[in-house]
Structure formats: structure tokens, C-alpha cells
Amino acid sequence: MKRNPTAFLREEYEELVRQNLNWELHVLYGPNDVWANVDGKRTLMLGTNNYLNLANHPKLKEAAIKAIEKYGVGTGSDREIAGNMDIHVELEKRIAKWKGTEAALTFPTGFTVNSGLIPALVGKGDLIVSDELNHGSIIDGVRLSKADRAIYAHCDMADLERVLNEAEKHDPPYRRILIVTDGVFSMDGDIAPLDEIAKLGAEHGAMVYVDDAHGEGVLGENGRGIVSHFKLSHEDVHVDMGTFSKAIGVIGGHISGSQDLINFAYNKVRTWLLTASQIPAAAAATIAAIDLLESDPSIVKKLWDNTHYYKKEVESMGFDTGNTQTPIIPIITGDSKLAKDLAKMLLDMNIFTVPIVYPLVPREKARIRTQVNAAMTKEDLDYALDALEKAGKKLKII
């Protein structure tokens, strides 16, 4: 019998639809703002990573427009060939200063940092030690490495210590050990105990790598991130990885750390070497965002004021928000159909959230992920809270 080589495409998609695990794409007609035009309707945006509302900020837009006028829209090349512009170098100096490190290096996205850097840092004869809830880009980086791997229970320091003690007994001894963790866990909003991780790392001679995607612009002095939040130094945390696609409001990944780390990375990492450099407009807008964060601490403070108010109200209604400590406030429904129904009901009331279902979270831990924004007014937050209460009662979640 002649086989149909593409029949699986439809079959697998239809299976996802049957299980309520498929994505339905919405369309924004305009900027991702507190109130955005989603699918043609004015909607309160409660489901983006644009925590500081910088994605449509006039200063960032102005910087991007100027950069386009000066440099054009594309770079025409990879960094190491003919695509290294002074705006990239300037951005890296700004990041290093902001983060308090010797040096920094930008990447096209955060995903390309994790998927490319991890397999460059560790390979055959090494061990990667990874939190069980780490982001998918870390998981892919781990999969691309030939190193052995050990997963520890989520934020469980006794389990991490057990893994590291076992690693010491490995014969032949491991050449290198890399501990890697999300800083803020993207689906739960809890914060990794990076101080304890760094301490255990130091005791066992391990490299420590933190993914600060949801911590930058949110945690620490002037939004410097998780290393600042715990008052650690980059002697304790060797790779401070982040992204400009979340609170910074633009796009692009980066690492901050020692000059040795940066020299190593731009010579060895395939997702840096084999891809085009960041567009100048993105680099310029990111510099403008860091300038704003450093000059105006009130933006981050407003984010936290909004977060505290909203979280307290959501929890007092009786919703399960898990262990969140940040502006990521999940509303855990358990069942994926219920998460989808809740998101749909909220959308009918002009509120945008996304249902988060398996495989992004375990099957029995479906949720909607709500995220607070610094530019929301008390009226906006009350609008959201009122709708959540109505929908939660109707669906018998509360």
C-alpha cells in the first residue's frame, strides 16, 4: 500500500483539538498596550510579559526610528563576519554596566542563548544539573549537550545537594558540573533560591547559570534582576542570562558575566555564530529601555504596587495561585477544559489571558496565566478582578 507521507499532520492536530490542547491564535490590531485591540475588540491585556509597558513606549520608539535612519533595517550579516555594528557594542557595554559585570554579549533571542550556550559549556564527561521546571529552551539546550544530566525536584535544595553529592562519587570524576535554573519560573511565578544554589555550587565547584528572563526589569535594584535581588555577585553566579523580549519590551537575548565567558561564547556558540546579528532598531530600543530603568525607579515600583494589590484580591476571592512571588499570577484550574472556558469567558468580558495547558504545565495543573503591568490603573485592575470573580463563580472555580 502506498503511504500518505503527510497524513500525520492533520491527524496529530485533530488529536490536540480533541484533547483541548491546541492553540487558538488571536490577532492584535495595534500595539501590545494595557488596553489592546485583540481580534477587533478593545481588550484589557492581562496575558503578556510586557510588565513595564515598554513595548510601545515613546522613548523606545524614538530610539528605534533614529537607529533605522542611521543604520537601516537589517545588518546584512552575522556578527563575526560583517554584521557587528557600534550599536551592538554600545548595547553590550550598557548591559554589563546595568548588570554589574565585566562584559555582556547579545543574542537574537533568549531561546538561542539557552539552546546554544549550554551545549557549548558542557559536553562529554560533564554533568548538567537542572531544576525539573526549567524553561523549554533550557531543556532543549540540555538535550543538545552530550553531558550527563540530573534533574532535581523543583527548588528543592536538599534534592540538589543529594544530586551534587552523588556527582562527587562519579568515576571517572566529572570534568565540569553546570547547575542551571530559571530565576523566576515562567508558569508559576515563584523565585529560585539562587543564594542557596550559588552556595551549593561553590561548595561543589560547579558553574551556576541562571535564566533571568522574568526577573529582569522586575526584581532587584532598578530591575537589575535576580542576582541583585539576592545581593549576589557574578563570582557566585557565573552565567546571568536574560532576554529583552519581556519587561524590556523589545527582543533579543543576552549573557552577562566575566570577559572570559564572553570571549568563550562568541567563539564557540553555534546559535551566536551561525545567525544574523540583532536589528539595529532593537539594539537602540533596548538601550533606551535600560536608560529608563536606571533613571526612573518609579516604573518598577508601580509594577510591584499593582502586583501586591491584585494578588491579594485574587487570593481573597479563593483562587489557587500556587506559590507565586512575582507579577506572574497563575490561576490554577487543574482541568485544561476549565482553563480554556475561563479564558474564553474572560475574553467575552474584554479581558485577555491565555490558557496554559499540557505540555507547558503538567496535565492536572492547567491554568490561566495572568500578568500584571506597571501601567495599569487601579480601575483597570478592578475591572479585571470583577470579571474574574464573575467568571470564577459561574464556572464554580471559587
Known active-site residue 214: yes
- Which of 215, 253, 280, 330 binds ligand PLP (CB under 6 A)? It is 253
Known active-site residue 246: yes
Shortest Å, Cβ 113 to ligand PLP: 8
Q: Give, as ranges, the residues between 34 and 73 that touch ligand PLP (CB under 6 A).
A: none
Three-state SS letters, the chain: CCCCCCHHHHHHHHHHHHCCCCCCCCCECCCCCCEEEECCEEEEECCCCCCCCCCCCHHHHHHHHHHHHHHCCCCCCECCCCCCCHHHHHHHHHHHHHHCCCEEEEECCHHHHHHHHHHHHCCCCCEEEEECCCCHHHHHHHHHCCCEEEEECCCCHHHHHHHHHHHHCCCCCCCCEEEEEECECCCCCCECCHHHHHHHHHHCCCEEEEECCCCCCCCCHHHCCHHHHCCCCCCCCCEEEEECCCCCCCCCEEEEECHHHHHHHHHHCHHHHCCECCCHHHHHHHHHHHHHHHHCCHHHHHHHHHHHHHHHHHHHCCCCCCCCCCCEEEEEEECHHHHHHHHHHHHHCCEECEEECCCCCCHHHEEEEEECCCCCCHHHHHHHHHHHHHHHHHCCCC
Q: Which is nearer to ligand PLP, 204 or 214 (CB)?
A: 214
Marked catalytic residue, from 214, 234, 254, 340 = 214
Q: Which is nearer to ligand PLP, 110 or 392 (CB)?
A: 110
Query: Should residue 131 be labelled a site residue for ligand PLP when binding is judged by CB under 6 A?
Result: no
Q: Contacts with ligand PLP: how many residues (CB under 6 A)?
A: 14
Q: Give, as ranges, the residues between 208 and 227 that touch ligand PLP (CB under 6 A).
A: 211, 213-214
Q: Which is nearer to ligand PLP, 135 or 369 (CB)?
A: 135
Contact track, ligand PLP, 83-122, x by CB under 6 A = --------------------------xxx--x--------
Shortest Å, Cβ 138 to ligand PLP: 7
Cell numbers standing for residue 111: 531561546
Site stretch for ligand PLP (CB under 6 A), options 16-24, 190-198, 207-215, 363-371? 207-215
Q: Which is nearer to ligand PLP, 185 or 383 (CB)?
A: 185
Q: Which is nearer to ligand PLP, 190 or 380 (CB)?
A: 190
Q: Which is nearer to ligand PLP, 290 or 397 (CB)?
A: 290
Shortest Å, Cβ 51 to ligand PLP: 12
Marked catalytic residue, from 246, 311, 340, 365 = 246
Q: Give, as ranges, the residues between 170 and 189 that touch ligand PLP (CB under 6 A).
A: 182, 186
Marked catalytic residue, from 115, 130, 137, 186 = 186
- Which of 245, 277, 333, 370 binds ligand PLP (CB under 6 A)? It is 245
Which residues form the catalytic set?
186, 214, 246
Chain contacts with ligand PLP (rule: CB under 6 A)? 109-111, 114, 135, 137, 182, 186, 211, 213-214, 243, 245, 253
